[in-house]
Amino acid sequence: MKSLQCIIVDDEPIARQILENYIKEIPNLELIASCKNAFEVMAILQEQTVDILFLDINMPKLSGISLLKTLQQKPNVIITTAYPEYAVEGFELSVTDYLLKPFSLERFLQAVMKVQHKTEDLKAPITLSKEPSVNALFVKSDKKIVKINLDDISHIEAYGNYIKIYTGKMILTPQSLTDFLAKLPDTFLRIHKSFVINFSQLKLIDGNQIVLQNDIKLPIGKSYRKAVLGKI
């Protein structure tokens, strides 16, 4: 299996060491360089392409955001920072994920897996010796980055270029239902072109309708009925 080549860019030695240790834990990652400023990585990127850039934002002379704006060919960028206020600008620059320091190995793995999903020639999953469970995701909503516990989700609804995530309250986020479903574990099931449910929230099936534990009723699409019944 082809490795994902990556570069660390962070002016803090301890932060670089933590990332280097995390990378060593994931067999599909290959560290090309660990840089202490944006100028070092710019020189490397002029000579070769990489798959992932683990990029700090608040660095002297040239910030991570400024670096991103100068790159014509961007690798997959995973922001690693202690500053949540740059999240919206980061996502506007099409970063793959935004990790707030301090973050766990499991959260780091989740970000790496997002890159894997975008890389067509990687077929097998990236794993640790013991695969962690992903219990939460972060989404952009109303200029904020919101943490969502997956167990709290009852269902998800397509809404144009957005999706509605229902957790007892509704969270609106700009992405497609298909892309969001790819980030979820197999406890989530698409039942209709416009709906995904958390299967653990299923109460009963009534004809062509799903009834959830909160008594919400959702339609089962004709082309999805076989998959729904096969899940039971």
pLDDT in tens, 3-29: 889 999 999 999 999 999 999 988 889
Q: What is the pLDDT of residues 144-159, one digit of tens each?
A: 888 889 989 999 999 9
Confidence of residue 140 (pLDDT cuts 50, 70, 90): confident
**Which pTM was predicted?**
0.53
Exposed e or buried b for every residue in 23-34, given b needs 16+ CB within 10 A?
beebebbebebb
Predicted pLDDT at 127: 46
Q: Could you tell me if 98 and 192 lie in one domain?
A: no
Residue 110 DSSP SS3: helix
Given a cut of 90, whether residue 54 has pLDDT beyond it is yes
| Domain end residue (candidates: 75, 101, 118) | 118
d(Cα 171, Cα 142) in Å, to the nearest integer?
9
Number of domains comprising the chain: 2
16 and 96 co-located in one domain: yes
pLDDT of residue 186: 84
Question: In this structure, what are the phi and psi dihedrals at residue 198, rounded to the nearest 5 degrees?
Answer: -80, 110
Distances (CA, A) of 184 to 49, 173, 191: 29, 15, 15
Q: How far apart are CA 104 and CA 22, in angstroms?
A: 9
Phi, psi of 195 (to 5 degrees): -140, 140
CB 28 within 8 A of CB 1: yes
Q: What residues make up the domain containing 91?
A: 4-118
| 166 located within any domain | yes
Q: Is residue 56 part of a domain?
A: yes
In a domain, 123, yes or no: no
Residue 128 has pLDDT above 60, yes or no: no
For the beta carbon of residue 98, count every other beta carbon within 10 angstroms.
Answer: 22
Judged by DSSP in three states, 206 sits in strand
For residues 33 and 90, state if they share a domain: yes
